[in-house]
Structure 1
Amino acid sequence: MKMNIDGVPYSTSAVHSTFSGGSLSINGRTDSNQYEGLTIHILYYEGQTGTFTFTDHMNSHVKAQFSVKWDSPNVDHHFAMEMGSVTITEVTNKDIKGTFSMVVKNLESGETKTLTEGSFYTPLAR
């Protein structure tokens, strides 16, 4: 999984996805920290390609959480999707490919991060 965070390149090395019970979960984590990375959830997913847009925290079928340890190894920063979309460009029985862009917000501090040029290509577990 690759993306720019506020214009700075960022990538995860461990990426996997799960499609089960009408829900798709795409997870990207760094090698150095299993808690640092991005998780994207698409609820009511039926295996199709297309663009899925975040609407609001209560009613959206698209959700994302971004966690990072920027300041020190002992300080977690958790961000939730504030606006954005995920596009599934290809899906087979074995893998899934797509792009995303979003703004995530730290709900405690109000700090925002802009994730652009995001992409993923990962095996799909069913």
Structure 2
Amino acid sequence: MTYRNRAAEAAGATASEAPAASAEAAFEAASEAAVEAAAEPHDPVPGERAARDRVRAEATGMTHHEAEAALEAARTAGAPPAAVAEWQRVEEHLVDHGGPYAPESDPYVQGQLTARSHHGHHGHGGPG
């Protein structure tokens, strides 16, 4: 159940609102599936790498709570799946990291950079 669905339930949504809630749930399920697909290793489609880079730049210096709020804002705003997936990954990284976000201390980002440099090109080699 999503945060919005929980809020509607707590506010006393009626049975007549159920079809709208079902449509919203279906939309959110499709959105989550797209985010999960964007998080899986694959050759990025045009715009994905740029979306991830923008998230990393914006996240730099954020605490876990700030990244968590940014993730929720991205989901609410209907941000592209690659951006939501990256916010989710950054938020999860900060749960264990304990400090502000920095791409230099993010093992996932560093692994991508190493792989790109070993492959000698920037168009392939996984997400990101």
TM bucket by the smaller chain?
under 0.3
Please say which structure displays the higher CA radius of gyration: 2
Q: TM-score, normalising length from structure 2?
A: 0.25
Q: TM-score, normalising length from structure 1?
A: 0.25
Higher relative contact order (CA 8 A, sep 6+): 2
User: Counting strand residues as a fraction of each chain, which structure ranks higher?
Assistant: 1
User: Counting helix residues as a fraction of each chain, which structure ranks higher?
Assistant: 2
